[in-house]
Amino acid sequence: MQFHLNGFKPGNYQVPDAARKPYPDPPIVDLPSEVDVLVVGTGPAGLTMARQMSEFDDIKTCIVDMATGPLLFGRADGISCRTIEIMESFNSSEMVVKESYHLKQNTFWEPDAANPKNIKRTEKITDARAGLSEFTHGIVNQARLHELLIDGMANGISNLHPHYSRELIDMVIDDDIAQDLNAHPITATFKRRDEAGKEKIETIKAKFVVGSDGARSRVRKSLDISLQGDSANKAWGVMDILLNTDFPDIRVKSFIQSKYHGAVMTIPREGGYLCRFYVELDMIDKDKRASDLNLSEQDLIAQAQKIFHPYTLDVKEVPWWSIYSVGQRLADRFDNRPVDTSDDIIPRAFVAGDACHTHSPKGGWGLNTSLPDTFNLGWKMAAVLQGKSDPKLLSTYGTERRKVAQQLINADKELSKLVATRPTTDDHNNDAQVDTAKIEAFMKRQSGFVSGTSIEYFPSYICMGQENQHLATGYKIGQRFHSAQATRVADGMSQHLGHLVKADGRWRIFLFGGAQNPTEISSSAYQFVDFLANDASSPVLKYTPKGADLDSAIDTYAVFQQQGLSMHDLHDYIWPAKGKYGLRDYEKAFHAQIGNDLYDLRGINREDGCVVIVRPDQHIASILPVTAHEGVSSFFDSFMIEQE
């Protein structure tokens, strides 16, 4: 798709440039007085949390922000493979893929040894993240990602819309009732910021609050959570531009190092014309902010033009620009409980995204770490509110996501130092130069982390069974369920298995059959399915609400090696009767594809097969032998609540 030819226009890219208009600020609606979940902030973390909550009609959610309306442009632009996988779980990946610039190559430019005033390309390589997912790293306006999440909220079962023009001025938690799940211990007070309601005070009572309100989070401050780490001492400028240039790699992600004027990183943007520049600037004092440099977009353009010599940059329009500083900080805890509190204490307030980890914006790491924060938290909160899981589940959010944030901080420190041609506070070499080979090696080494595909959670009661990892070496316990294609038995349709794991709060069990014919009653696959369907200890029977569809809590899929299977020869649990008419679901049984065999792709044991349990956030919770009926039961028994 191409757009922005005659100037940048925010909004829905499905509308032609000539007709596209910015969205008007939405009308102001009174805040509810009492909710289950209060989300403060409409960035990626906040909107993902609200989007997840919008799936449940029995959970009342409210999301608020100080802004007058949705984001229109600017901020992050990189959408990682893993983020697109998450958007697929919300049924929104197609639009992201369609509209994004797909990052396929990287180039590196250094001073020309023969003429140091000029730059010269040293290498052009395939992006290191290629092949880590069925999706490629994309570049698209963060506002467009927000729009897709907001549309999903509005079209969800709870018809959820953000409340804008609200400033959080006070928040308290009543500890005397905080351990009563039915209570609303949180009182949040907001001040209206719009002209019509200026200075009006509104109060909300909530069971839980999620602070996704940025680096200066008022939720975090009200919880007395401190940010620890290095203060900013290095400034960069960022700008989205429409330009004419004779630089040959303007439509390829490039890192350009000059001899005398610093460095620039360029990233092509969606639509074919727009491009983002990250321009290296000067050091800043520790008691100063990047904004104190008093630079304009013309200063950024002038600096970039010096770096690009002998190539020319004729900038026609700058839709957005900003100056930022590089500092890495991490919250000492991600919820309101003191550090090292027992998991038996129910947390009531959480921080996510920039509210608990700050770092440089290069590569879209902020967005691509913030969004998975609440993708991790959302299903857990829903399960507790719906009485499906023990409240101790909420404590795993901080344990799992703080580890990821710490990895991000470490990686950002390393990259920030690698790309800085001017000395940092701990580097007094005034002739510091970038070694692009080290940057390339860093990106290759960190490709799984940068893409989000190698994020791995610590072993716990919801990430266990490591002793069975050999049964499926390509499905790493704790990492996301790496999608692969299989063929539906019923109709021959090719299906990505990872796309079956939607953000609806359900657990998934994937049965990968062994060498035995699954239609034979004596086979381990048939016996496993019969256990799920009929045994009194089956987690499906114990944790599915009475009268609900059999897959409403735990959704089971089966994949077999054998070709030529017939649905009617398989156990009827694999093609269950559902809904008010008892219609059969024919989309749960698959066989491996010839020539694209997922048993080979994911290292699945062909003789014995295995069972892979996948969490609602798509991470692998456990791998078990097909014969481990008791093991499957005990896994779910450790945290789920039996339903009446």
End-to-end CA distance of the chain: 51
Strands (E), 328-479: 329-331, 349-351, 357-358
pLDDT attached to residue 57: 94
- Residue the block writes with tokens 């996948």: 614
Q: Do domains 234-326+420-451 and 466-637 have the same CATH topology?
A: no
Ranking 154-163, 345-354, 443-452, 615-624 by mean pLDDT, the lowest is: 443-452
Pairing relationship of beta strands 349-351 and 201-211 according to DSSP bridges = parallel
Choose which CATH entry (1.10.10.10, 3.40.50.620, 3.40.50.11740, 3.30.9.10) describes domain 234-326+420-451.
3.30.9.10
pLDDT attached to residue 229: 86
pLDDT attached to residue 288: 61
Q: What angle, rounded to 10 degrees, do the helices at 81-89 and 365-385 form?
A: 30
- CA–CA distance, 606 with 516 (Å, rounded to integer): 10
| Residue-wise pLDDT tens digits, 169-200 | 999 999 999 999 999 999 999 999 999 998 89
Residue type, 427: D
Tokens matching residue 295: 């630079």
What DSSP character marks residue 321? E
- In this prediction, residue 415 has a pLDDT band, given cuts at 50, 70 and 90, of confident
In terms of pTM, does the model score above 0.75? Answer: yes
User: Residues near 29 by Cβ (< 8 Å), separated by ≥ 6?
Assistant: 161, 163
Share of the chain above pLDDT 90, in %: 78
The yes-or-no verdict on residue 424 having pLDDT over 50 is no
Residue type, 415: L
Q: What is the mean pLDDT of residues 96-116?
A: 93
Q: What is the mean pLDDT of residues 38-55?
A: 97
Tokens matching residue 126: 């395939």
Contact (CB, 8 A) for 385 and 36? yes
Taking Cα atoms as reference points, which of 102, 111, 109, 168 lies closest to residue 135?
102
Tokens matching residue 110: 């250094």
CATH dotted code for 34-75+147-230+329-355+369-394: 3.50.50.60
- CA–CA distance, 278 with 254 (Å, rounded to integer): 10
pLDDT attached to residue 341: 93
pLDDT attached to residue 529: 98
| Residue-wise pLDDT tens digits, 467-511 | 999 999 999 999 999 999 999 999 999 999 999 999 999 999 999
Q: List residues bridging with 111 in a β-sheet.
A: 119
The yes-or-no verdict on residue 427 having pLDDT over 60 is no
Pairing relationship of beta strands 34-40 and 61-64 according to DSSP bridges = parallel
- In this prediction, residue 425 has a pLDDT band, given cuts at 50, 70 and 90, of very low
| Residue-wise pLDDT tens digits, 519-558 | 999 999 999 999 999 999 999 999 999 999 999 999 999 9
- CA–CA distance, 516 with 527 (Å, rounded to integer): 11
pLDDT attached to residue 534: 97
Taking Cα atoms as reference points, which of 616, 393, 397, 414 lies closest to residue 504?
616
What DSSP character marks residue 421? S
Regarding the domain delimited by 466-637, which CATH topology (the fold level of the hierarchy) does it fall under? Glutaredoxin (3.40.30)
Average pLDDT, the chain: 92
Q: What is the mean pLDDT of residues 576-599?
A: 96
Ranking 4-13, 45-54, 384-393, 614-623 by mean pLDDT, the lowest is: 4-13
Domain segments of the chain: what residues? 34-75+147-230+329-355+369-394, 234-326+420-451, 466-637
- CA–CA distance, 196 with 607 (Å, rounded to integer): 70
The yes-or-no verdict on residue 208 having pLDDT over 90 is yes
User: For every residue of 600-627, which 3-state class applies, written as one string?
Assistant: HHCCECCCCCEEEEECCCCEEEEEECCC
Between residues 26 and 445, the one the model is more confident about: 26
The yes-or-no verdict on residue 75 having pLDDT over 70 is yes
Tokens matching residue 470: 């050999």
Q: What is the mean pLDDT of residues 69-95?
A: 91
- CA–CA distance, 164 with 562 (Å, rounded to integer): 55
pLDDT attached to residue 414: 80
Taking Cα atoms as reference points, which of 280, 286, 230 lies closest to residue 255?
280
**Nearest-5° Cα angle at 320, 318 to 326:** 120
pLDDT attached to residue 430: 44
Q: What is the mean pLDDT of residues 445-466?
A: 90
310: cis peptide before it, omega within 30°? yes
- In this prediction, residue 570 has a pLDDT band, given cuts at 50, 70 and 90, of very high
CB atoms inside a 10 Å sphere around CB 311? 17
Contact (CB, 8 A) for 275 and 250? yes
| Residue-wise pLDDT tens digits, 274-326 | 999 999 887 555 556 656 678 899 999 999 999 999 999 999 999 999 988 76
Ranking 67-76, 194-203, 452-461 by mean pLDDT, the lowest is: 67-76
